Chain A
Protein backbone atom coordinates (compact mmCIF):
# COMPACT_ATOMS: atom_id res chain seq x y z
CA UNK A 1 0.00 0.00 0.00
CA UNK A 2 2.84 2.34 0.90
CA UNK A 3 4.69 1.70 -2.38
CA UNK A 4 2.01 3.02 -4.81
CA UNK A 5 1.28 6.00 -2.51
CA UNK A 6 4.94 6.95 -2.50
CA UNK A 7 5.10 6.62 -6.27
CA UNK A 8 2.00 8.80 -6.65
CA UNK A 9 3.40 11.46 -4.34
CA UNK A 10 6.73 11.35 -6.19
CA UNK A 11 4.93 11.66 -9.51
CA UNK A 12 2.96 14.68 -8.25
CA UNK A 13 6.11 16.30 -6.89
CA UNK A 14 7.91 15.69 -10.19
CA UNK A 15 5.07 17.30 -12.11
CA UNK A 16 5.07 20.26 -9.75
CA UNK A 17 8.84 20.64 -10.21
CA UNK A 18 8.44 20.61 -14.00
CA UNK A 19 5.61 23.15 -13.93
CA UNK A 20 7.72 25.32 -11.62
CA UNK A 21 10.63 25.11 -14.02
CA UNK A 22 8.45 26.07 -16.99
CA UNK A 23 7.13 29.04 -15.03
CA UNK A 24 10.72 30.13 -14.32
CA UNK A 25 11.65 29.99 -18.00
CA UNK A 26 8.52 31.95 -18.90
CA UNK A 27 9.49 34.54 -16.26
CA UNK A 28 12.93 34.83 -17.90
CA UNK A 29 11.22 36.03 -21.07
CA UNK A 30 9.64 38.98 -19.16
CA UNK A 31 6.03 38.31 -20.27
CA UNK A 32 4.69 41.72 -19.19
CA UNK A 33 7.30 43.61 -21.21
CA UNK A 34 6.68 41.15 -24.04
CA UNK A 35 2.97 42.00 -23.98
CA UNK A 36 3.65 45.73 -24.45
CA UNK A 37 6.22 45.00 -27.16
CA UNK A 38 3.79 42.71 -29.03
CA UNK A 39 1.05 45.30 -28.65
CA UNK A 40 3.12 48.13 -30.17
CA UNK A 41 4.43 45.77 -32.87
CA UNK A 42 0.85 44.83 -33.78
CA UNK A 43 -0.04 48.51 -33.94
CA UNK A 44 2.84 49.05 -36.37
CA UNK A 45 1.50 46.21 -38.54
CA UNK A 46 -2.03 47.60 -38.46
CA UNK A 47 -1.05 51.23 -39.07
CA UNK A 48 1.03 50.34 -42.13
CA UNK A 49 -0.69 51.26 -45.42
CA UNK A 50 -0.63 47.67 -46.70
CA UNK A 51 -1.81 44.40 -45.19
CA UNK A 52 0.24 41.23 -45.45
CA UNK A 53 -0.91 37.62 -45.63
CA UNK A 54 -2.39 36.59 -42.24
CA UNK A 55 0.08 33.73 -41.81
CA UNK A 56 3.06 36.03 -42.48
CA UNK A 57 1.59 38.58 -40.03
CA UNK A 58 1.29 35.87 -37.36
CA UNK A 59 4.93 34.89 -37.93
CA UNK A 60 6.02 38.54 -37.65
CA UNK A 61 4.21 38.93 -34.31
CA UNK A 62 5.65 35.64 -33.05
CA UNK A 63 9.18 36.78 -34.01
CA UNK A 64 8.75 40.14 -32.25
CA UNK A 65 7.60 38.35 -29.07
CA UNK A 66 10.37 35.75 -29.24
CA UNK A 67 13.11 38.32 -29.79
CA UNK A 68 11.88 40.54 -26.95
CA UNK A 69 11.76 37.50 -24.67
CA UNK A 70 15.29 36.47 -25.67
CA UNK A 71 16.65 39.96 -25.01
CA UNK A 72 14.91 39.94 -21.62
CA UNK A 73 16.51 36.59 -20.72
CA UNK A 74 20.02 37.81 -21.66
CA UNK A 75 19.39 41.00 -19.66
CA UNK A 76 18.46 38.92 -16.61
CA UNK A 77 21.67 36.86 -16.94
CA UNK A 78 23.86 39.96 -17.20
CA UNK A 79 22.15 41.68 -14.25
CA UNK A 80 21.66 38.64 -12.01
CA UNK A 81 24.13 39.81 -9.34
CA UNK A 82 22.54 43.25 -9.12
CA UNK A 83 19.03 41.78 -9.30
CA UNK A 84 19.86 39.80 -6.15
CA UNK A 85 20.49 43.08 -4.30
CA UNK A 86 17.19 44.68 -5.28
CA UNK A 87 13.90 43.97 -3.51
CA UNK A 88 12.00 44.39 -6.77
CA UNK A 89 14.02 41.77 -8.65
CA UNK A 90 15.51 39.40 -6.11
CA UNK A 91 12.66 36.90 -6.58
CA UNK A 92 13.60 36.38 -10.26
CA UNK A 93 14.63 32.82 -11.28
CA UNK A 94 18.37 33.58 -11.63
CA UNK A 95 19.03 35.31 -8.27
CA UNK A 96 16.90 32.63 -6.61
CA UNK A 97 19.04 29.93 -8.24
CA UNK A 98 16.08 28.22 -9.88
CA UNK A 99 17.61 28.49 -13.36
CA UNK A 100 21.31 28.22 -14.27
CA UNK A 101 22.85 31.30 -15.92
CA UNK A 102 24.19 29.26 -18.86
CA UNK A 103 20.75 27.80 -19.54
CA UNK A 104 19.15 31.24 -19.45
CA UNK A 105 21.85 32.68 -21.72
CA UNK A 106 21.39 29.78 -24.15
CA UNK A 107 17.64 30.33 -24.20
CA UNK A 108 18.08 34.07 -24.79
CA UNK A 109 20.58 33.69 -27.64
CA UNK A 110 18.48 30.96 -29.26
CA UNK A 111 15.32 33.11 -29.11
CA UNK A 112 17.06 36.13 -30.66
CA UNK A 113 18.83 34.09 -33.35
CA UNK A 114 15.80 31.99 -34.27
CA UNK A 115 13.42 34.95 -34.38
CA UNK A 116 15.80 37.00 -36.56
CA UNK A 117 16.32 34.13 -38.99
CA UNK A 118 12.59 33.34 -39.16
CA UNK A 119 11.66 37.00 -39.67
CA UNK A 120 14.23 37.31 -42.48
CA UNK A 121 13.22 34.12 -44.27
CA UNK A 122 9.45 34.36 -43.82
CA UNK A 123 8.77 38.11 -43.74
CA UNK A 124 11.58 40.37 -45.00
CA UNK A 125 15.18 41.17 -44.14
CA UNK A 126 14.59 44.83 -43.20
CA UNK A 127 12.22 43.71 -40.43
CA UNK A 128 14.76 41.04 -39.42
CA UNK A 129 17.58 43.60 -39.30
CA UNK A 130 15.50 45.94 -37.13
CA UNK A 131 14.53 43.03 -34.87
CA UNK A 132 18.19 42.06 -34.39
CA UNK A 133 19.18 45.72 -33.92
CA UNK A 134 16.58 46.17 -31.16
CA UNK A 135 17.74 43.07 -29.26
CA UNK A 136 21.45 43.89 -29.66
CA UNK A 137 20.88 47.54 -28.70
CA UNK A 138 19.03 46.43 -25.56
CA UNK A 139 21.80 44.01 -24.57
CA UNK A 140 25.01 45.83 -25.55
CA UNK A 141 24.13 49.52 -25.53
CA UNK A 142 21.56 49.61 -22.70
CA UNK A 143 22.33 46.68 -20.35
CA UNK A 144 26.12 46.45 -20.66
CA UNK A 145 27.21 49.97 -21.60
CA UNK A 146 24.75 52.62 -20.45
CA UNK A 147 22.79 51.24 -17.50
CA UNK A 148 25.72 50.83 -15.07
CA UNK A 149 27.45 54.05 -16.22
CA UNK A 150 25.14 57.02 -16.77
CA UNK A 151 21.91 58.46 -15.37
CA UNK A 152 20.86 59.05 -18.99
CA UNK A 153 20.79 55.25 -19.44
CA UNK A 154 17.09 54.96 -20.06
CA UNK A 155 16.93 58.04 -22.31
CA UNK A 156 19.26 56.52 -24.93
CA UNK A 157 18.52 52.90 -23.97
CA UNK A 158 14.83 53.60 -24.36
CA UNK A 159 15.38 53.38 -28.12
CA UNK A 160 15.43 49.57 -27.77
CA UNK A 161 11.82 49.56 -26.61
CA UNK A 162 10.82 51.98 -29.35
CA UNK A 163 11.70 49.61 -32.22
CA UNK A 164 8.62 47.27 -32.22
CA UNK A 165 6.14 49.51 -34.12
CA UNK A 166 8.87 50.21 -36.70
CA UNK A 167 9.47 46.46 -37.00
CA UNK A 168 5.74 45.85 -37.49
CA UNK A 169 5.61 48.59 -40.11
CA UNK A 170 8.70 47.23 -41.91
CA UNK A 171 7.23 43.70 -41.79
CA UNK A 172 4.11 44.94 -43.60
CA UNK A 173 5.65 47.32 -46.12
CA UNK A 174 9.27 46.22 -46.52
CA UNK A 175 10.48 49.79 -45.97
CA UNK A 176 10.45 52.60 -43.40
CA UNK A 177 8.67 55.93 -43.61
CA UNK A 178 8.21 59.17 -41.68
CA UNK A 179 5.12 57.70 -39.97
CA UNK A 180 7.01 54.65 -38.70
CA UNK A 181 9.81 56.90 -37.37
CA UNK A 182 7.12 58.95 -35.59
CA UNK A 183 5.84 55.83 -33.81
CA UNK A 184 9.44 55.18 -32.74
CA UNK A 185 9.82 58.73 -31.42
CA UNK A 186 6.59 58.57 -29.37
CA UNK A 187 7.85 55.55 -27.41
CA UNK A 188 11.35 57.05 -27.22
CA UNK A 189 10.08 60.24 -25.53
CA UNK A 190 7.56 58.33 -23.40
CA UNK A 191 10.23 56.07 -21.85
CA UNK A 192 12.00 58.64 -19.58
CA UNK A 193 8.94 59.85 -17.61
CA UNK A 194 7.67 56.26 -17.44
CA UNK A 195 10.91 54.81 -16.15
CA UNK A 196 11.86 57.71 -13.88
CA UNK A 197 8.49 57.42 -12.13
CA UNK A 198 9.49 53.84 -11.30
CA UNK A 199 13.02 54.79 -10.31
CA UNK A 200 11.68 57.50 -7.99
CA UNK A 201 9.89 55.02 -5.74
CA UNK A 202 12.48 52.29 -6.30
CA UNK A 203 15.35 54.74 -5.74
CA UNK A 204 16.77 52.98 -2.70
CA UNK A 205 16.62 49.68 -4.52
CA UNK A 206 18.61 51.05 -7.45
CA UNK A 207 21.09 52.74 -5.09
CA UNK A 208 21.62 49.44 -3.26
CA UNK A 209 22.46 47.72 -6.55
CA UNK A 210 24.73 50.58 -7.66
CA UNK A 211 22.75 51.63 -10.73
CA UNK A 212 23.24 55.39 -11.36
CA UNK A 213 19.56 56.11 -12.01
CA UNK A 214 18.70 59.80 -12.25
CA UNK A 215 17.00 60.10 -8.80
CA UNK A 216 20.03 58.39 -7.21
CA UNK A 217 22.65 60.58 -8.93
CA UNK A 218 20.94 63.93 -9.53
CA UNK A 219 18.28 63.87 -6.83
CA UNK A 220 14.52 63.79 -6.85
CA UNK A 221 13.90 67.45 -7.70
CA UNK A 222 15.99 67.28 -10.87
CA UNK A 223 14.36 63.98 -11.86
CA UNK A 224 10.88 65.42 -11.43
CA UNK A 225 11.83 68.41 -13.58
CA UNK A 226 13.19 66.12 -16.33
CA UNK A 227 10.00 64.04 -16.15
CA UNK A 228 7.95 67.18 -16.66
CA UNK A 229 10.07 68.26 -19.66
CA UNK A 230 9.67 64.91 -21.44
CA UNK A 231 5.95 64.78 -20.61
CA UNK A 232 5.47 68.24 -22.16
CA UNK A 233 7.51 67.23 -25.23
CA UNK A 234 5.20 64.26 -25.74
CA UNK A 235 2.17 66.53 -26.09
CA UNK A 236 3.01 68.04 -29.51
CA UNK A 237 4.76 64.88 -30.69
CA UNK A 238 1.72 62.65 -30.18
CA UNK A 239 -0.45 65.10 -32.15
CA UNK A 240 1.74 64.88 -35.27
CA UNK A 241 0.07 61.62 -36.55
CA UNK A 242 -3.10 63.63 -37.17
CA UNK A 243 -1.17 66.37 -39.01
CA UNK A 244 0.56 63.95 -41.39
CA UNK A 245 -2.68 62.12 -42.17
CA UNK A 246 -1.92 58.91 -40.31
CA UNK A 247 -4.87 59.34 -37.94
CA UNK A 248 -8.09 61.36 -37.76
CA UNK A 249 -9.91 63.72 -35.41
CA UNK A 250 -10.96 61.15 -32.82
CA UNK A 251 -7.32 60.29 -32.17
CA UNK A 252 -6.43 63.99 -32.07
CA UNK A 253 -8.98 64.76 -29.34
CA UNK A 254 -8.18 61.56 -27.44
CA UNK A 255 -4.44 62.29 -27.55
CA UNK A 256 -4.99 65.80 -26.16
CA UNK A 257 -7.01 64.42 -23.22
CA UNK A 258 -4.51 61.62 -22.54
CA UNK A 259 -1.61 64.09 -22.67
CA UNK A 260 -3.31 66.58 -20.36
CA UNK A 261 -3.87 63.79 -17.82
CA UNK A 262 -0.21 62.79 -18.21
CA UNK A 263 0.85 66.39 -17.52
CA UNK A 264 -1.43 66.44 -14.45
CA UNK A 265 0.23 63.23 -13.23
CA UNK A 266 3.67 64.79 -13.75
CA UNK A 267 2.54 67.94 -11.92
CA UNK A 268 1.37 65.86 -8.96
CA UNK A 269 4.77 64.17 -8.83
CA UNK A 270 6.45 67.60 -9.05
CA UNK A 271 4.33 69.05 -6.20
CA UNK A 272 4.71 65.97 -3.99
CA UNK A 273 7.74 67.37 -2.14
CA UNK A 274 7.43 65.13 0.89
CA UNK A 275 6.85 62.05 -1.25
CA UNK A 276 3.72 61.46 0.77
CA UNK A 277 2.27 57.97 1.19
CA UNK A 278 5.37 56.19 -0.04
CA UNK A 279 5.66 57.96 -3.40
CA UNK A 280 1.98 57.51 -4.20
CA UNK A 281 2.08 60.16 -6.95
CA UNK A 282 5.08 58.49 -8.66
CA UNK A 283 3.42 55.08 -8.45
CA UNK A 284 0.26 56.52 -9.96
CA UNK A 285 2.23 58.19 -12.74
CA UNK A 286 4.01 54.91 -13.52
CA UNK A 287 0.69 53.07 -13.76
CA UNK A 288 -0.88 55.86 -15.81
CA UNK A 289 2.11 55.98 -18.19
CA UNK A 290 1.45 52.37 -19.23
CA UNK A 291 -2.25 53.09 -19.72
CA UNK A 292 -1.31 56.25 -21.67
CA UNK A 293 0.91 54.44 -24.19
CA UNK A 294 -1.61 51.65 -24.54
CA UNK A 295 -4.42 54.12 -25.29
CA UNK A 296 -2.35 56.34 -27.63
CA UNK A 297 -1.52 53.37 -29.87
CA UNK A 298 -4.99 51.84 -29.58
CA UNK A 299 -6.58 55.15 -30.61
CA UNK A 300 -4.19 55.39 -33.56
CA UNK A 301 -5.28 51.95 -34.78
CA UNK A 302 -8.98 52.64 -34.23
CA UNK A 303 -8.85 56.05 -35.91
CA UNK A 304 -6.49 55.23 -38.73
CA UNK A 305 -7.21 57.69 -41.51
Chain B
Protein backbone atom coordinates (compact mmCIF):
# COMPACT_ATOMS: atom_id res chain seq x y z
CA UNK B 1 0.00 0.00 0.00
CA UNK B 2 1.16 3.51 -0.81
CA UNK B 3 2.60 5.41 2.15
CA UNK B 4 2.21 9.16 2.45
CA UNK B 5 5.08 11.39 3.52
CA UNK B 6 4.56 13.46 6.73
CA UNK B 7 4.02 16.58 4.56
CA UNK B 8 1.45 14.78 2.40
CA UNK B 9 -0.29 13.45 5.51
CA UNK B 10 -0.42 16.95 7.03
CA UNK B 11 -1.77 18.41 3.78
CA UNK B 12 -4.37 15.62 3.53
CA UNK B 13 -5.49 16.18 7.12
CA UNK B 14 -5.74 19.94 6.59
CA UNK B 15 -7.87 19.35 3.50
CA UNK B 16 -10.10 16.90 5.38
CA UNK B 17 -10.48 19.38 8.22
CA UNK B 18 -11.41 22.17 5.82
CA UNK B 19 -13.98 19.93 4.13
CA UNK B 20 -15.45 18.87 7.48
CA UNK B 21 -15.83 22.55 8.44
CA UNK B 22 -17.66 23.34 5.20
CA UNK B 23 -20.00 20.37 5.69
CA UNK B 24 -20.63 21.39 9.30
CA UNK B 25 -21.33 24.99 8.25
CA UNK B 26 -23.90 23.76 5.70
CA UNK B 27 -25.51 21.48 8.31
CA UNK B 28 -25.74 24.33 10.83
CA UNK B 29 -27.21 26.62 8.15
CA UNK B 30 -29.89 24.02 7.29
CA UNK B 31 -30.78 23.55 10.96
CA UNK B 32 -30.98 27.33 11.48
CA UNK B 33 -33.16 27.64 8.35
CA UNK B 34 -35.50 24.92 9.66
CA UNK B 35 -35.62 26.67 13.03
CA UNK B 36 -36.61 29.92 11.33
CA UNK B 37 -39.20 28.01 9.29
CA UNK B 38 -40.67 26.53 12.51
CA UNK B 39 -40.89 29.97 14.09
CA UNK B 40 -42.45 31.56 10.97
CA UNK B 41 -44.92 28.69 10.61
CA UNK B 42 -45.93 29.08 14.24
CA UNK B 43 -46.23 32.85 13.85
CA UNK B 44 -48.49 32.51 10.81
CA UNK B 45 -50.65 29.92 12.58
CA UNK B 46 -51.01 32.28 15.54
CA UNK B 47 -52.03 35.13 13.21
CA UNK B 48 -54.61 32.90 11.56
CA UNK B 49 -56.03 31.84 14.93
CA UNK B 50 -56.18 35.48 16.02
CA UNK B 51 -58.02 36.54 12.85
CA UNK B 52 -60.50 33.66 13.26
CA UNK B 53 -61.18 34.76 16.83
CA UNK B 54 -61.61 38.35 15.70
CA UNK B 55 -64.30 37.44 13.15
CA UNK B 56 -66.37 34.63 14.75
CA UNK B 57 -69.36 35.13 12.38
CA UNK B 58 -67.35 33.92 9.40
CA UNK B 59 -68.02 30.35 10.41
CA UNK B 60 -71.80 30.76 10.07
Contacts and interface: CB of A to CB of B under 8 A. Distances in A.
A50 interface: yes
A39 B31 contact: yes
Contact of A56 (B24, B40, B42, B44): B42
Given A46-B37, A61-B35, A51 B42 contact: yes
Nearest to B39: A54
Contact of B30 (A54, A58, A277, A298): A298
B17 interface: no
A145 interface: no
A46 B34 contact: yes
Contact of A294 (B27, B38, B43, B44): B27
Given A35-B28, A39-B30, A53 B35 contact: no
A142 B2 CA distance: 39
A54 B42 contact: yes
- How many B residues are at the interface, by size bracket? 10 to 19
Interface in A250-305: 277, 294, 298, 301
Nearest to A298: B30
B45 interface: yes
B27 A45 contact: no
A42 B42 contact: no
A50 B48 CA distance: 12
Given A35-B27, A277-B1, A294-B27, A54 B46 contact: yes
Give the 9 A-B residue pairs with the shortest CB-CB distance, closest first. A51-B45, A54-B42, A54-B39, A42-B34, A51-B41, A51-B42, A57-B38, A57-B42, A54-B43
Interface of A: 32, 35, 38-39, 42-43, 45-46, 50-54, 56-58, 61, 277, 294, 298, 301
Given A46-B37, A52-B42, A54-B43, 14 more contacts: A32-B24, A35-B24, A35-B27, A35-B31, A45-B38, A51-B38, A51-B42, A52-B45, A53-B46, A54-B42, A54-B46, A57-B38, A61-B35, A301-B34
Interface of B: 1, 24, 27-28, 30-31, 34-35, 37-46
22 contacts: A35-B31, A38-B31, A39-B27, A39-B34, A42-B31, A42-B35, A42-B38, A43-B34, A46-B34, A46-B37, A46-B41, A51-B41, A51-B44, A53-B46, A54-B38, A54-B40, A56-B42, A58-B38, A61-B35, A61-B38, A294-B30, A301-B37
